[in-house]
Structure 1
Amino acid sequence: MARILAIDYGTKRTGIAITDELQIIASGLTTVNTKELFSFLKTYVAKESVELFLVGEPKQMDNTASESEVFIVKFLSQLEKQFPNIPVKRVDERFTSKMAFQTMIDSGLKKKQRKNKALVDEISATLILQSYLYSL
């Protein structure tokens, strides 16, 4: 089997998580400067077999799209052009940043470590991926 790669897209940083080859375990992979995202993805996909991209879908509490959706739609268009053979699914990402922060607290990370926004983005991507795996 191939891996599933989850993306928590941001205009500055993008968190990335990946499954194992059996698609059982979701693990944080890294956080990438968004300007370097496509370069990173090309390199990763050349080395590893990826069968699906999951992209977080930010929504408001009333189920309407978040302001950041405008940027994500542009990204999705580029993603589908760059990787036409890998399907893309969207996953509701409401509360993932808060859950990521709570995960950091629960893990015993110090206050200074919890200020690392790159780590929050990576954990958020992992939570997006884990919620997808639970839904299967």
Structure 2
Amino acid sequence: MARILAIDYGKKRTGLAVTDELQIIASGLTTVPTKDLLTFLNDYCKNEQVETIVVGEPKRLHDEASDIEVDISRFLKKLDKVLPGIKVVRMDERFTSKMAFQSLIDSGLSKKKRQNKALLDEVSATIILQSYMDSRP
């Protein structure tokens, strides 16, 4: 089986998470500067077999698209050109940042470590990925 990769897209940084080859466990992968994201994904997919990329879909409470959706749409067009054979799925990411922050608190991280926004983005991507995995039949 191939891996599933999840993206928590941000203007500055993007959090990434990935499954194991059996698609059982979702784990944080890394956080990359968004300007380097396509290059990172292209290199990663050359070395690892990825069948699906799950991209967080930021929405407001009343199902309105978030402001960053314009940037994500542009990114998805570029992604399709760079990695045309990989299925892309969108997943609602409402509240993932709050859930990620709470999980960092619950894990016992110090206040200083919880302020690491890169770690927060990576945990958010992991939550998006786990939500996707849980939603599959």
Alignment partner, residue 8 of structure 1: 8
Deviations 1:11-47 (A, max 9, x none): 1000000000011100000000111111111111010
Alignment partner, residue 40 of structure 1: 40
CA distance in 2: counterparts of 1:62 and 1:38, whole angstroms? 31
| Matched position secondary structure for 2:109 | coil
Map 1:8-27; keep pairs closer than 5 Å. 8-27=8-27
Alignment partner, residue 80 of structure 1: 80
Question: Which letter maps to 1:133?
Answer: M
| Matched position secondary structure for 1:113 | helix
Q: Percent identity?
A: 66
2:135 corresponds to 1:122: no
| Matched position secondary structure for 1:85 | coil
Normalization by structure 2: what TM-score? 0.98
Q: CA deviation at 1:52?
A: 0.5
| Matched position secondary structure for 1:22 | coil
Normalization by structure 1: what TM-score? 0.99
Map 1:43-122; keep pairs closer than 5 Å. 43-122=43-122
User: Number of paired residues?
Assistant: 136
CA distance in 2: counterparts of 1:82 and 1:43, whole angstroms? 11
Q: CA deviation at 1:5?
A: 0.4
The runs of 4+ residues in structure 1 deviating greater than 2 Å are: none
Gaps of 5+ in 1: none
CA distance in 2: counterparts of 1:90 and 1:42, whole angstroms? 19
Deviations 1:52-104 (A, max 9, x none): 01000000000110111111000111111111100100000000000000000
